[in-house]
Amino acid sequence: MLPAMSESERSTESPKEAAPAAAETPEQAIDREVREKLTALDAEVDAGRVTMLTYNERRKALVTDARERKAKLQAAAPPPPGPDEPKADAKLDGSADAKRPEDKPSVPGWAQPKAMKHWSAGGRGDDPTVRKVHAPLGNGIGDGKAFFFLFGLRTASDNDQRFLAAEMEHIGDDIEVLRKNGYTVVVDPQGTREDFLGAVSGQGEGAAGLTPAGIYWSAHGAPDGSVLTCDGGELAPRDLDPNRVSKDLRLVIFGSCYVGSRVRTWRQALGGHPLVVGWGRPVTIDRVVQFLDPDPECTTGLGDLIARYIVGDAPIPGETPERYSPLADAALQGRVGNLADRVRAVAEKLDARWREQPKWLDIEVPLEDDRTRVCEVFIVDSAEPFSEGEPLLAVEADVGEWSGVVEPQLLFGAQSAPGYARVALVKGETDVPRIVTQGFLPLARVRDQDLAALVHQVAASADDLARRIFG
């Protein structure tokens, strides 16, 4: 949309012929191009032609390219006028145009993001009337405090709005529990960057002056840990000033793919004190609903976290561990050797499928309830006393990323029965270690029966542990 004309521009306009429209600036042309491409990309993901992983990668590339092009334009621009020179935007009468809304932070004290502004910047990307503030129903630990349910799912996406409707149906019980314990509960189905910044700093609309105890933010996430907002914008750890985050904030839950693998970065951006929880990998809406619904066999659902850290007063867990198994990333250091010949017979015993990778073999092991778990099988050399250099047959299965909600007794419990499998933490490619199950046997002395037992125990242990930890 073109900007409205000022009164001085109207007064010089010919009554017979309107003045020509202002030419599009290079920056505006870049914004328009990005807007058009993002709209086309939204249509592709809504039609199911691309996955959210592809969507996030392509969107990130568009934003990065636009940011770099704008930076080049700014670097090539002439230097600002000196103190005695008139500003370029000054009018002949000495007055200057008012600052645009985007020149001023929407939340006092917060710096604007370094990333390229979304094309809708300068106006609200949400409908403020949809925000609902639920008053407390009783007194308790939540007196003078607020909990926020903010949804950054895109308003322009039909799929996202279906996700939103599904989630909204499953938070009513949590809202009631919070209100009965004295909390003011804010629910906003159109969450923006400014909504999140306001909430964490105690300036959230509808709850200003109340202590922010916790936030549930639901939106699409990207591998770098950033999340989308309802207007298609972006929220990233770099947007936060840790000094402005309320020191009483206890819990921040991201119902977003990938963010769980960046919880250390988010926790530091939030001042280092709140527990940050999220999924380390892509999840389906069914998994989200499982997280929102009570499950007696899982202790890390939304209701469990609220009961423990918001309605209850359990100590907030510390940072994720920085020491890992000395066999971290063992599969990357392993080799295949002649395992293919051994695995054929074992796969037949297990009724499993397998395929060869450069440094290991993947075996997809069938388990109970029509579930499967993939194990990596490889050869690694022992470094232990009395067996130095002896080739070991190794099996490893992934459980998931470590987070502060993983209780140690869950890990110890997985090792309580005698067997070949053990639990270990290995260094991943992100902020947090990965939980895996592993097992090792001497290659020269292992029978096919032993290998089949090892593979099955590692797979079953990983699947059981993942179910108990993550649902």
Domain-wise residue ranges, the chain:
129-311, 330-470
Closest C-alpha among 280, 323, 257 to residue 469: 280
CATH of the domain spanning 129-311: 3.40.50
Residue 100 CB contacts under 8 Å (≥ 6 apart), including other chains: 122
Separation CA 299–CA 277 (nearest Å): 13
Q: What is the pLDDT of residue 408?
A: 61
Q: Which two tokens stand for residue 135?
A: 């008053």
What pLDDT shows up at residue 57? 73
* Residue partners of 289: CB distance under 8 A and separation at least 6: 166, 167, 170
For 397-425, letters b (16+ CB in 10 Å) and e give: bbbbbbbbbbeeebbeebeeeeebbbbbb
On whether the CB atoms of residues 210 and 185 are closer than 8 A, the answer is no
Q: β-strands 211-218, 145-151: how paired?
A: parallel
CB neighbour class for 62 (10 Å; exposed up to 12, middle 13-18, buried from 19)? middle
DSSP state letter for 449 = H
Residue 271 is which amino acid?
G
Kindly state the tokens that stand for 116: 């390229």
How many angstroms separate the CA atoms of 231 and 106, rounded?
15
Contact yes or no for 379/391 (Cβ under 8 A):
yes
**Rounded-to-integer distance, Cα 365 and Cα 372, Å:** 5
pLDDT of residue 223: 84
Question: From the CB of residue 315, how many other CB atoms can be counted at a distance below 10 Å?
Answer: 8
pLDDT at 237: 93
Q: Count of CB atoms within 10 A of residue 107's CB?
A: 17
Structure tokens that stand for 350 in this block? 């297990």
CATH 3.40.50.300 holds for 330-470: no
Contacts of 18 (CB under 8 A, 6+ apart): none
What is the predicted pLDDT for the residue at 390? 79
- Reduced to 3 states, what is the DSSP secondary structure of residue 468? helix
In the structure encoding, which two tokens stand for residue 338, read together?
């002649």
Report the half-sphere exposure of 467 (CA within 13 A, side-chain side).
Answer: 15
Residue 165: predicted pLDDT: 93
| Spatial CA neighbour of 259 closest among 276, 271, 242 | 276
Largest CA distance in the chain: 99
Contact (Cβ atoms closer than 8 angstroms) between residue 184 and residue 139: no
Residue 455 to residue 66: CA distance in whole angstroms: 49
Residues of the chain under the 70 pLDDT cut: 1-22, 45, 51-53, 78-125, 281, 297-299, 319-334, 383, 386, 403-417, 428-432, 470-471
Indicate the angle between helix axes 52-76 and 26-46, nearest 10 degrees: 180
Nearest to 288 by CA among 276, 301, 277: 301
Give the pLDDT of residue 271. 93
- Strands, E assignment, 359-466: 361-366, 372-381, 391-401, 422-426, 434-442
